[in-house]
Amino acid sequence: MEFGRTSEDEAFRAEVRGWLAEHVGGVGDRREWERVLGGGGWIGIGWGVEGYGNRAVGLERQVVWAEEYARVRAPARSGHIGEKLLAPTLIAHGSEEQKNRFLPPIASGDELWCQGYSEPGAGSDLAGIRTEAVREADGYRISGQKIWTSLAHEADWCFVLARTEAGSRRHRGLSFLLVPMDQPGRIEVRPIRQMTGTSEFNEVFFDGAHARAEHLVGGEGNGWQVAMSLLGFERGVSTLAQQVGFAQELGQVIEAAVASGAADDPVVRDLLVRQWAELRTMRWNALRTLGSSADQGAPSVAKLMWGRWHQRLGELAMRVRGAGAAVGPGDWSAGSPYELDALQHLFLFSRADTIYGGSDEIQRTIIAERVLGLPREAKG
């Protein structure tokens, strides 16, 4: 029997479809949608804990929810960083006071989070960060810069990895802090405009921003362990939902190939079949490793697979369109809005797939050192 296809799971699938059919559409904005999800009990269903305003379901039904959500093309999430990354980290490393303070508003969709990890000059080398947090009587004073901070312009809070030990290097002396974003004059968010014309990512500047002492997670100096634990939550059930979206995009590319006549080219047909076969391979690999923590290289292998696959799909989308791929859906003359159709957006946005979330070079290093046991790279 296929994963998630028991009679109980099918009943749950029907419940999910009914709820989504009733609620998707007519939502004013992304924050409002998070509250709708929270009100229905659909945020935090994979936390595995009771008492924080969420329903707890098993792994199979988490997959059902994620896949059905993707299939109906429900609104893009603003709360996934808090739900999928911070919440499991607090459950694993946070104090009871921190869980009681932060988990309920995440589950209700009332508080949104962003992730303060990457920095200019450090790239995917998380141990190379330079943001400092100086201990004060009632907390920490934070100074430094983060970059590629997703949804920082919408977030109420940011979890920040910073140096709390002066003169420390690499993974030593780091701490994991929960920082409120509403600090005028102390926190500045600058959008980064991308090739697509959109600005999902941001630069964030901390100039004496304050974090309360009780909002230190895992103890001072233990930030590296907490941060690595968080990255372990980054890929899992969401990978399967991502693949549903990929399948929808592949369908659009196939339709474009048929419409343009490119599907008559045997080379193009071979490329389309290859994309389909590789997507199926990624699905079965994700199912094989789902819920397992034994394979340290699994998340890195998955990232390497889908990043390159998605880029090739974007390139193929432009190839099957031919010269028409260079023509926008609207007027691109000076002063007109910069618009892209879905396939053009796919092509341009996917150029970043092999960089964000840990570059391909970083993923290969993880596999080499942690799985294959090769000598570690010497770092200053």
Q: Give per-residue pLDDT as tens, 121-180.
A: 776 667 778 899 999 988 999 999 998 888 899 999 999 999 987 777 787 889 999 999
Helix (H), strand (E) at residue 321: helix 298-321
Whole-angstrom CA distances from 147 to 202, 223, 339, 356 are 6, 19, 25, 11
**Residue range 312-338: average pLDDT?**
82
Percent of the chain with pLDDT over 90: 39
Q: Which of 77, 233, 241, 226 is nearest to 151 (CA)?
A: 77
- pLDDT tens profile 168-199: 778 788 999 999 999 999 999 999 888 888 88
**Residue range 99-116: average pLDDT?**
94
Yes or no: say if 353 and 315 are a contact pair by the CB < 8 Å rule.
no
Side chain identity at 373, as an amino acid letter? Answer: G
Distance of CA 49 to the CA centre of its chain: 22
Find all residues with CB under 8 Å of 53, minimum gap 6, and list them.
38, 41, 44, 103, 104, 107, 108
- Residue bearing the bigger pLDDT, 350 or 334: 350
Catalytic residue among 165, 234, 315, 369: 234
User: What is the reported pLDDT for 292?
Assistant: 61
Query: Token pair of 299, please?
Result: 């998340």
Q: Which of 131, 118, 122, 128 is nearest to 192 (CA)?
A: 118
User: What is the reported pLDDT for 1?
Assistant: 37
- pLDDT tens profile 58-100: 888 888 888 888 888 888 888 989 998 899 899 989 999 999 9
Backbone φ, ψ for residue 293 (5° rounding)? -110, 5
Percent of the chain with pLDDT over 70: 89
Following CA atoms 217, 218, 220, 224 in sequence, which dihedral angle do they give, to the nearest 10 degrees?
-100
Q: Is the pLDDT of residue 332 over 70?
A: no
Mean of pLDDT over the chain: 85
**Residue range 2-9: average pLDDT?**
66
Give the Cα-Cα-Cα angle 244, 361, 283 (nearest 5 degrees): 20
pTM of the model: 0.82
User: What is the reported pLDDT for 235?
Assistant: 58
User: What is the reported pLDDT for 371?
Assistant: 83
Side chain identity at 117, as an amino acid letter? Answer: Y
d(Cα 82, Cα 103) in Å, to the nearest integer?
Answer: 9
Per the DSSP assignment, residues forming a β-bridge with 192 are 201
Min mean pLDDT across 187-196, 293-302, 335-344 is at: 293-302
Yes or no: say if 325 and 344 are a contact pair by the CB < 8 Å rule.
yes
Distance of CA 183 to the CA centre of its chain: 25
Question: Is there a catalytic annotation at residue 234?
Answer: yes
Min mean pLDDT across 12-21, 77-86, 310-319, 333-342 is at: 333-342
Q: Around Cβ 336, how many Cβ atoms within 10 Å?
A: 10
Q: Is the pLDDT of residue 324 over 50?
A: yes
- pLDDT tens profile 235-276: 566 677 788 889 999 999 999 999 999 999 999 999 999 999
User: What is the reported pLDDT for 233?
Assistant: 63
Query: Token pair of 91, please?
Result: 């459950």
